[in-house]
Amino acid sequence: MRKTMRPALVAGLTVASALTVVLATPALSSAAPTPALSNAASILASGGDLASPEKKDIAMQLVSSAENSSLDWKAQYSYIEDIGDGRGYTAGIIGFCSGTGDMLELVQAYTNSVPNNPLAKYLPALRNVNGTDSHTGLGQAFVDAWKAAAKTSQFQAAQNSERDRVYFNPSVNQAKSDGLGALGQFIYYDAIVMHGPGNSSDSFGGIRNSAIKKAKPPSQGGNETTYLKAFLDARKVIMKQEEAHADTSRVDTEQLVFLNAGNLDLHTPLNWKVYGDPYTIN
């Protein structure tokens, strides 16, 4: 069972509108300034690219430890349940929700690629429940269909693709533009998974805006560690505004542990705790 609950994205999001949200958000815009050569050197000095295969797998394990109490993130393709957070079903490798738009987009993208799939017939119901916690038209039959689809490489690929399009690529690209290394890129990614893209005060973009008011990122001449601490402080303020996020250990006993140790590269071995449970990546 997941121990955290990601706030809702904009209700009624369509595939096109979600992409608009990502591209229109200043914090995630493709128009975000490219770091100067000195900033690029800073990125290389502090850990490089979270999108490299080995670092990306570490990122997925770290998120899974908090979202699923397991490092086996690939086992989560078939995960689905209503965790009682008002967002309907939560499912898959990063917690796509039936009430927040991203599950609808995922199933639509999957159906575009594989029209005859177990979930295609639930698209009308997913549109109807979007923005609510309703199970109308879904229920156990939908849960069973999700688990059946998750056994296929096509649905696993669809989950990977939507994760990257909506969450991983925008957050990592923004972190690189801000001059951050692998740890900073992960800190951004974990935040967008929980809080969603956007520029409202409780979204990823809003948290970043709050942090920049307190400390400059490396791309603006600031210290990387100082800035990341400001970002995590701003994130914790938002987390504590919702009961489901009041436990901030994924920041306190995971991300701050790495940051305080100066592990801006996310070098292994990594040792941390989430909700009191210990984890290690060697």
Closest to 197 (Cα-Cα) out of 166, 228, 175: 166
- Give me the DSSP letters along the chain: --S--PPP--TT--HHHHHHHHHH-GGG-TTSPPPPHHHHHHHHHTT--TTSHHHHHHHHHHHHHHHHSSS-GGGGGG-EEE-SSSS-EEETTTTEETTTSHHHHHHHHHHHH-SS-TTGGGHHHHHHHTTS---TT-HHHHHHHHHHHTTSHHHHHHHHHHIIIIIIHHHHHHHHHTT--HHHHHHHHHHHHHH-SSSSTTSHHHHHHHHHHHS--GGGT--HHHHHHHHHHHHHHHHTTSGGG---HHIIIIIHHHHHTT-TT-PSPEEEEETTEEEEE-
Q: Cα dist. 199→7, 25, 144 in Å? A: 14, 6, 36
> Going by C-beta distance under 8 Å and a sequence separation of 6 or more, which residues neighbour residue 82?
88, 89, 90, 133, 135
Q: Which residues are catalytic?
A: 67, 85
Q: Cα dist. 8→47, 99, 188 in Å? A: 32, 7, 18
